[in-house]
Amino acid sequence: MAYTAKDITVLEGLEPVRKRPGMYIGGVGLPGLHHLVWEVVDNSIDEAMNGYATEVVVTLHKDGRSITVSDNGRGVPIDKHPKHKLPAVQIIFSTLHAGGKFEEGNYKTAGGLHGVGASVVNALSTKLTVTVKRDGVAWQMSFRRGKPIDKLKRMGKARGSGTTVFFQPDPTIFPRTDFNAQTIIDRLKVASFLHKGIKVTFVNEPKGERTTFNYPGGIVEYLDAIRKERNCRPVHDSACSLERINGARVEMVFQWTESTDEHLRSYVNGIPTGSGGTHENGFRAGLNKAVRNYIETHKLAPRGVTISSDDIREGLVGVLSVFISDPQFQGQTKDRLNNPEVQSIVDGVVRPGLEQWLNQNRTTAEMIIARIILAARAREASRAASASISRKTATSKVTLPGKLSDCTSKNRDNTELFIVEGDSAGGSAKQGRDRNSQAILPLRGKVLNTEGSALNKVLDNKELSDLITALGCGIGPAFDIGKLRYQRIILLADADSDGHHITTLLLTFFYRHLPELVRQGRVYVAVPPLYRIDIGKETHWAIDEDQKERILSKAKGNAKPDITRFKGLGEMMPKTLWQTTLDPKTRRLLRVDVSDRLATDRVLDELMGKDPQARFHFIMDRAEEAEELDV
């Protein structure tokens, strides 16, 4: 086929955003939908961060699918741009890379520096209206899918100043356009912690609720909230709080707890950086140096045990907030900071600051060092246990679990391990599978809840120990993904509440103890049908009640439907299980993906953690939303 100049497409204006929204908001799922809110809110927060606003109000309207964000800042400029001869507000909302944050002067620090946030929200909305109050006058302009539908209009006199943005996401772009109120509340609450003194209000019109956040204690109060949320008991009473302006404004607070993992929440100009970056690298480097220097100076090094960086950070809970004038983020979603100079800046704050704090609080320091040494000894014990299992899995197939029905392929590519609920379902799966590429490992009942469990306790559990052996990649310090024996790991449980519980327990295990498999997209959840529906000569499969009702509503003719509800996978004939759940051509798989590590961590801690109060509140707060109970 000829390839000439006429085959080149030039996207103009905001067309690139609508054509490839994922490049600008990360995707069109719920995280991408809520990213529209963050873009508009970040602009208002930038006004407050630089001393021009004191209040931000976010309103979720009654339809649940439209948002208004307002602030009492200076208001977006409405005068005509000297070069483009259009009102500045029109340029900002309809042109990529247009804004007042590229040059220094208007904003010392800001979260929105790419100049695409407002225009991207506009491009992906069926309607966007911006109202500006400046110099005693209100102005308004409306857009549809990024294009102006009228000129800038003078609305009359107005008190004060500020900007109000109303927008409604485009359902032709987003599969779902209903916002999650709790997701918005969580983000706004964090913004109030990070910018102490700023009043942030959320108005939830569907529920008739109004919530205001204002935390004068800033990130110190935030750390207390995180510890309570995670139910972490602190090792020492007072947290270490450091703050300095040295080429950047650096604020941090951290505390060692009895938890077995590290939990650091980092932010740049108020924007969460879930994937870390150079500021987190600087924090960890400075922390490591300061603790090692203290141990060496006071001759506290234990005999026979080598302290690692992971031992030093085990149980650490902290908040790191950095404000810089020219942040370089990785992608428009701003999930990771890339500025190389920030690492040394943060390191230069942490190392001397923490050393001084440890020396001034000797009793607290000794408690922290004792905690670190305990972590090192526990790691050594876990390494010995996991190495034993790793050696067994590395030898031969004779050491594999007896109940594992392995596949015959010698090549790992395209092989799958199905972790199946129960021996009965395991029997059907073994008979119905493709023996060349599909392995079956049946589980006996519900596995151990590994949320908060130490590695040695996990290894003592027979079902999980067999699973680790079957995977072959080891666990903990002995983990090596290069030794993983299968390309995909697929969780296959019944389509009822018990099956969902078993799947949740397994997901908790993989996320907490084999997170790299999740990060690399190796873990999947199979979606078996719950109903078989025969209508005349046609057979339909429904995964839940809703799909069953949709199938029945579309049924034609007078044929009476014959509905079968599967009590479990073991009831399925091997051929049926192959057709609906095992056959790569017809099955449905959900790949396990974590888009928000902080939210995932919070949900797991709430639902699977040791504190029953968290689950009680979760159930009571959402009792009205329950449509059907499987008891």
- Residues 419 and 476: their CA atoms lie apart, in Å, by 21
Residue the block writes with tokens 């690399």:
520
Nearest to 266 by CA among 372, 343, 200: 343
Cβ–Cβ under 8 Å, residues 235 and 375: no
Q: Of the listed 496, 534, 571, 611, which one is catalytic? A: 496
Phi-psi domain of 381 (left: phi exceeds 0; alpha: psi -120 through 50; beta: other):
alpha
CA angle 16, 25, 126 (to 5 degrees): 65
- Residues 623 and 627: their CA atoms lie apart, in Å, by 9
| Single-letter code of the amino acid located at 72 | N
Q: Is 166 exposed, middle or buried (0-12, 13-18, 19+ CB in 10 A)?
A: buried
Any catalytic annotation for residue 496? yes
- Residues 493 and 568: their CA atoms lie apart, in Å, by 8
For residue 39, give every residue at least 6 positions away whose Cβ sits within 8 Å of its Cβ, in sequence order, or none: 25, 112, 117, 118, 120, 121
Element (H, E) at 222: helix 219-230
What is the separation of C-alpha 364 from the centre of its chain, rounded to a whole number of angstroms? 34
Nearest to 597 by CA among 517, 542, 515: 515
Cβ–Cβ under 8 Å, residues 627 and 545: no
Radius of gyration of the chain (CA): 28
Indicate the SS3 state at residue 506: helix
Q: Of the listed 421, 463, 466, 601, which one is catalytic? A: 421
Token pair of 550 as six digits: 């949709």
- Residues 241 and 257: their CA atoms lie apart, in Å, by 15
Cβ–Cβ under 8 Å, residues 165 and 68: yes
- Residues 265 and 273: their CA atoms lie apart, in Å, by 8
Any catalytic annotation for residue 205? no
**DSSP-derived secondary structure letter, 314:** T
Any catalytic annotation for residue 421? yes
| Single-letter code of the amino acid located at 361 | N
Q: Of the listed 494, 601, 605, 606, which one is catalytic? A: 494
What is the separation of C-alpha 130 from the centre of its chain, rounded to a whole number of angstroms? 30
Nearest to 314 by CA among 340, 357, 284, 353: 284
Cβ–Cβ under 8 Å, residues 593 and 521: yes
Indicate the SS3 state at residue 66: coil
Helices 181-194, 219-230: axis angle to 10 degrees equals: 140
Q: Of the listed 229, 498, 534, 611, which one is catalytic? A: 498
Any catalytic annotation for residue 178? no
Q: Which residues form the catalytic set? A: 421, 494, 496, 498
